[in-house]
Amino acid sequence: MQKIIVALCFGLIYSFLYNTEVLAESKNLFKIERNKNANVVMYDTRLDLNGNINKKNPVDAYWILYAKQGQREEITAFEKKAYGYTVTDNNDNSYSLVLKAVKDRPMKIILVNGEHKAEILINNEKAYLSSVYVSASDALIPKVSYIILTGTKINTGEKVTEKIIKTK
């Protein structure tokens, strides 16, 4: 019986070591702020030990609960309907990212001077996204009235914003 327990322990350790991805860190791409409270949704790139984007799971989205004690909390399955995303590997060291909150504005995650950035069109200019502000009604199923995209113009480094009015 003792041999079986030892064998199971070694099996679990082996499985953990060889089937678990080792992540070095995450780097912030941008955040979503809302009019409801101070809590924000953070979007980070997941990096491997070499500083490259983790190919199996390149983006991490989660809450920072500033309205409480600033702790991290995972996004629920229900919340992913609003704050979810899709990521596609472009096979050229970049990734396409589409947020459910702004489906009509696809982004490209690229490496710029050693830092990953989310490239997006803001006011028809290429920019690096820093934040999205969502203004919505305070209802069980909130209705978004407008979204503000904020970033930095790629060609000049100037701040750029765009307000998108939702008509639905």
Domain boundaries, the chain: 21-165
Q: What is the mean pLDDT of each run of 10 residues along the chain (168 residues)?
A: 48 39 70 95 92 91 95 94 94 94 93 94 98 91 92 97 89
pLDDT (tens digit per residue) in 119-163:
999 999 999 999 999 999 988 888 899 999 999 999 999 999 999
What SS3 state is found at 164?
strand
The candidate with the shortest Cα–Cα distance to 53, out of 44, 62, 61, is: 44
Question: For the whole prediction, is pTM greater than 0.85?
Answer: no
Q: Which contiguous run of DSSP H or E holds residue 118?
A: strand 115-122
Q: Which pairing describes strands 85-89 and 71-74: parallel, antiparallel, or unpaired?
A: unpaired
Strand partners, 146: 135, 165
